[in-house]
């Protein structure tokens, strides 16, 4: 199994269409509770394999961070509730994966009122991201996010990135989903 | 595996879309940190860029994409309490060909915002008809 190690700060320059500094800080706030840097995740791909993996569908992701980010992260828990921190941290890890493993994987966001919709415009893909601290939630959350990503108004195919920041399980489930074709729908 | 779009992107449109997206995510970050006044200002800027993105997309006959950015602008204006402007944008978005479930969500948002406009106007007229512009948000 391959291992990749990248600094979380990479996401800032990789996605010019998003402000991601605070997501990086929140990711470090969460990861630094789980381990020393780098924080390691098992990434499981479903429905696709990134080009650098040569057909493999799992790899280890080690996420490192720099001193200034760690300093900002220390202040996060004084003002933030866990849920927004987990969600923003998941966005940061998703942004890191797309920055390094998917060519033309730059992200953008639109506002849907009660939630943000992420897009990969160059690839014509939608993206749903979510995070949890409990592995038992992964299955249900994955089904919800898969349905959401396929309900995108552009009718694009889509990715789902689900991050589990568990004390015992640090896992990322990264899946790709195709829209049902009209002829499939009829059958 | 994913493949890029065959059509060459318009550089101006790409910059506008990046700007709108960056401002939306920045507004979200400011709100996360409880900096509401700054978040509101950034949201207003994001809404304006989203409208301009929608304008360019519509001019390029990308009606569905234009509608999505109008809805995004409308979501910003709704958060800013500018309900009349929200309704106008949602009406323009609904003129496009949209998937049924998305159309239903946009229509529900429009109904909600029309109710807010009526409520605000009722409040304005409560003490007699004003002889000046309504002080709606």
In the numeric block, the tokens 């800032």 are attached to A12
What's the pLDDT at A186?
38
Question: Looking at chain A, which residue has its C-alpha nearest residue B78?
Answer: A113
Tell me which DSSP letter residue A135 carries: G
Tokens representing B121? 């106007």
CB A57 within 8 A of CB A101: no
CB A17 within 8 A of CB A145: no
Question: Looking at chain A, which residue has its C-alpha nearest residue B62?
Answer: A154
CB A125 within 8 A of CB B2: yes
CB proximity A124 to B under 8 Å: yes
List, in sequence order, the alpha helices (H) in chain A: 10-14, 21-34, 67-79, 82-101, 138-150, 182-186
Question: Looking at chain A, which residue has its C-alpha nearest residue B7?
Answer: A122
Could you tell me the pLDDT band of residue A182, with boundaries at 50, 70 and 90?
Answer: low
Tell me which DSSP letter residue B33 carries: T
Chain A hits for B71, CB-CB cut-off 8 Å, are 110, 112
Distance from CA of B123 to the nearest CA of A (A): 25
Whether residue A38 has a cis bond before it, omega within 30° of 0 = yes
In the numeric block, the tokens 């992200």 are attached to A107
Tell me which H or E stretch contains B58: helix B36-59
Query: Cβ separation of B18 and A17 shorter than 8 Å?
Result: yes
CB proximity B12 to A under 8 Å: no
Quick: pLDDT tens for B97-125: 999 999 999 999 999 999 999 999 998 88
What's the pLDDT at B134?
62
The closest alpha carbon to A163, from A91, A107, A59, belongs to A91
DSSP assignments along B94-131, one per residue: HTS---HHHHHHHHHHHHHHHHHHHHHHHHHHTTS--S
The closest alpha carbon to B76, from B100, B50, B99, B56, belongs to B50
Query: Cβ separation of A116 and B101 shorter than 8 Å?
Result: no
Q: What is the ipTM of this complex?
A: 0.90
Tell me which DSSP letter residue A113 carries: S
Q: Which of A16, A22, A111 sits opposite B32 (nearest CB)?
A: A22
CB proximity B45 to A under 8 Å: no
Averaged over A87-101, what is the pLDDT? 97
Distance from CA of A109 to the nearest CA of B (A): 5
Whole-angstrom distance, CA of residue A29 vs CA of residue A22: 10
Reply yes or no on whether the pLDDT at B4 is more than 70: no
Tokens representing B84? 């009349």
φ, ψ (nearest 5 deg) of residue A18: -140, 145
Reply yes or no on whether the pLDDT at A36 is more than 60: yes
* Count of CB atoms situated within 10 Å of the CB of A86: 21
Q: Which of B1, B18, B98 sits opposite A153 (nearest CB)?
A: B98
Query: Cβ separation of B33 and A22 shorter than 8 Å?
Result: yes
Instruction: Give me the residues paired with residue A173 across strands.
Output: A44, A162
Reply yes or no on whether the pLDDT at A174 is more than 90: yes
Query: Cβ separation of A110 and B21 shorter than 8 Å?
Result: yes
The closest alpha carbon to A94, from A158, A47, A3, A150, belongs to A158
B5 or A111: which leads in pLDDT? A111
Give, in order, the Cα–Cα distances in Å from A119 to each of A15, A133, B52. Answer: 12, 25, 19
CB proximity B84 to A under 8 Å: no
């Amino acid at each position: 199994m391959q291992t990749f190690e990248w600094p979380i700060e990479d996401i800032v320059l990789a996605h010019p269409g998003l402000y991601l500094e605070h997501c990086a800080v929140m990711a470090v706030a969460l990861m630094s509770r789980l381990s020393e840097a780098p924080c390691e995740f098992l990434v499981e791909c479903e429905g696709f394999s990134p080009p650098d993996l040569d057909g493999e569908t799992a790899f280890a992701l080690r996420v490192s961070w720099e001193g200034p980010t760690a300093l900002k992260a220390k202040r996060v828990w004084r003002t933030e509730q866990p849920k927004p921190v987990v969600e923003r941290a998941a966005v940061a890890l998703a942004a890191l994966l797309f920055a390094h493993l998917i060519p033309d994987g730059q992200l953008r966001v639109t506002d849907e009122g009660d939630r943000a919709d992420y897009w990969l415009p160059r690839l014509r893909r939608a993206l749903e991201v979510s995070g949890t601290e409990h592995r038992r939630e992964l299955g249900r959350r994955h089904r919800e996010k898969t349905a959401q990503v396929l309900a995108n108004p552009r009718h694009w195919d889509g990715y789902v990135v689900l991050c589990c920041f568990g004390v015992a399980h640090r896992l990322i489930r990264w899946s790709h989903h195709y829209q049902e074709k009209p002829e499939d729908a009829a059958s | 595996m994913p493949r890029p779009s065959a059509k060459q992107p318009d550089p101006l449109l790409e910059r506008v879309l990046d700007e709108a997206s960056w401002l939306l995510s920045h507004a979200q970050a400011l709100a996360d940190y409880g900096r509401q006044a700054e978040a509101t200002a950034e949201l207003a800027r994001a809404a304006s860029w989203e409208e301009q993105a929608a304008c360019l997309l519509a001019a390029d006959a990308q009606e569905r994409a234009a509608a999505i950015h109008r809805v995004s602008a409308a979501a910003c204006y709704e958060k800013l309490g500018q309900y009349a402007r929200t309704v106008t944008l949602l009406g323009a978005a609904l003129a496009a060909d949209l998937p049924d479930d998305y159309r239903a969500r946009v229509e529900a948002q429009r109904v909600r915002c029309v109710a807010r406009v009526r409520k605000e106007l009722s409040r304005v007229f409560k003490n007699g008809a004003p002889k000046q512009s309504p002080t709606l948000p």
